[in-house]
Amino acid sequence: MNTNTRRKAAIVTVVGLATAAALTGCAGGSGGGSSDAASGTYTFWDPYPQFDDSSDWAKLVTSCGTDAGVTIERTGYDTSDLTSKALLAGQQGNSPDLLLVDNPVVSTLAEAGLLTDTDETGADTSAVEANLLAAGQLDGKTYGVPIGANTLALYYNKSVLDAAGVDPASITDWDSLTTALEAVTAAGKKGITFSAIGTEEGSFQFLPWFWGSGADLTTLDSDDGQSALALWTDWVDAGYAPNSVIGNTQTTSWQEFLTGDYAFGENGTWQLAGVKESGIDYGIISIPSKDGGAAPAPTGGEFLTVPVQSDDARYAVSEKIQACLTSTDNLVATDTTLSYVAPTTEAQEAQVAADPDLQPWVDAVADAKGRTSDDLGTDYPKISEQLWKAVQNSLSGSSTPEEALQEAQQAAESATK
């Protein structure tokens, strides 16, 4: 391919992002001539090491390979390990035929020249919701197909709200939410819990409030951005949110909500099964924007991508496997298992028909936004790091929201030059 030299050069510049771990278990799919492309073994890497060969997921992957006339050799890696191995494999010209990765990673791999775009593979993305597809787009090209999405919303405890005389339907903006928190704490209960830890989880949870203020990630210290950080800081200072949020992961935050003492818990689609089992009389509302309406929450979930191969005849089979795994029936089965909302309207409707409790999450995903959207690409992780540092500095009291975000903006500008 004429683009191989450019791609390999780009890979070298980005592979430093990967750890220096030895690459193991890489029976890559790039070998063999075009005459062998329609048969043989195709390699598939995913971030699901918890699923062994007996799992429904592994069986589905195998069956899609069989339907395409090939055998799939699947390997599951931890998410962070998968990114490192994918970068190193690309440098060595030994990429898997198919790669399922967390959506913010797509831009990193695409910028490195590791991924084909959908024009090359012929993948049909016309039915995919535009806001979900955007997480896999860079410089006008689309790299892969989302298999599903999750996002954030507010779980609420009906018993706690009833005791405080709060109607969840009255919560439509920041002011009405803060008024509800005041009423709950005055009634002797606790307000809201969330994750503000100094990692990507903290940024992930802060983004609905940041975006919901009208702020943009290219200008962290705007007046709107400062109002979002001031909101969280004021809640902690007033006792509406616990001091523990500064160290909370999404898991520990959820454990706080499950005590039954909190009115609200910011968390994700993946907690739905757990809250049903908890016995809490719960409900779900979208995270409100500052002035009303639903805030755009960030999307989680994976993209099924086709890495660059030395033999481009392999793409036709890879696309067949990709199309099989992202068909409506298989999306519904897979996304229900993974607690994802499907990326197409048809599959979402099937999910809600089977489980009406998913409707609030379908609504939330419709308003959601990819973290690397707005063509941020590989700049997003650099900006996100400064954002979570600003949240930590403000909530700890070491800086005001204005000071924290001004420092973050300066650091982000230096990091993205």
Question: What pLDDT tens digit does each residue of the chain (417 aa) get?
Answer: 433 433 443 443 343 333 322 222 322 343 333 457 888 999 999 999 999 999 999 999 999 999 999 999 999 998 889 999 999 999 999 999 999 999 999 999 999 999 999 999 999 999 999 999 999 999 999 999 999 999 999 999 999 999 999 999 999 999 999 999 999 999 999 999 999 999 999 999 999 999 999 999 999 999 999 999 999 999 999 999 999 999 999 999 999 999 999 999 999 999 998 999 999 999 999 999 999 999 999 999 999 999 999 999 999 999 999 999 999 999 999 988 888 999 999 999 999 999 999 999 999 999 999 999 888 989 999 999 999 999 999 999 999 999 999 999 999 999 998
Q: What is the dihedral of CA 367, 80, 117, 416, to 10 degrees?
A: 80
Number of H helices, E strands in the chain: 18, 11
Q: What is the C-alpha separation between 364 and 367, in angstroms, rounded? A: 5
The DSSP call for residue 344 is B
Q: What is the C-alpha separation between 173 and 387, in angstroms, rounded? A: 23
The DSSP call for residue 288 is B
> CB neighbours of 403 closer than 8 A, spacing ≥ 6?
393
292: left (phi over 0), alpha (psi -120 to 50) or beta: left
Q: Where exactly are the structural domains of the chain?
A: 4-149+301-366, 152-297+376-415
DSSP assignment string, 129-178: -HHHHGGGEETTEE-SEE--BB-EEEEEEHHHHHHTT--GGG--SHHHHH
- Amino acid making up residue 11: I
> CB neighbours of 349 closer than 8 A, spacing ≥ 6?
none
Q: What is the C-alpha separation between 390 and 402, in angstroms, rounded? A: 9
Other beta carbons less than 10 A from residue 105's beta carbon: 24
Supply 400's token pair: 């005001």
Strands (E), 208-300: 262-268, 282-285
CA distances from 61 to 2, 93, 350 (A): 32, 24, 21
Q: What is the C-alpha separation between 260 and 210, in angstroms, rounded? A: 28
- pLDDT, position 38: 84
| Best CATH choice for the domain 4-149+301-366 from the list 1.10.8.10, 3.40.50.620, 3.90.320.10, 3.40.190.10 | 3.40.190.10
- Given this chain, do its domains 4-149+301-366 and 152-297+376-415 carry the same CATH topology? yes
CA distances from 267 to 170, 187, 257, 340, 376 (A): 20, 24, 10, 14, 25
- Residue count of the chain, please give it: 417
Other beta carbons less than 10 A from residue 172's beta carbon: 16
Domain topology for 152-297+376-415: D-Maltodextrin-Binding Protein; domain 2 (3.40.190)
Supply 53's token pair: 């060969």
Strand pairing report for 262-268 and 152-157: antiparallel
Contact 43, 76 (CB under 8 A): no
Closest CA to 143 of 101, 84, 175, 91: 101
Angle (CA) 219-117-50 rounded to 5° is 85
Element (H, E) at 74: strand 71-76
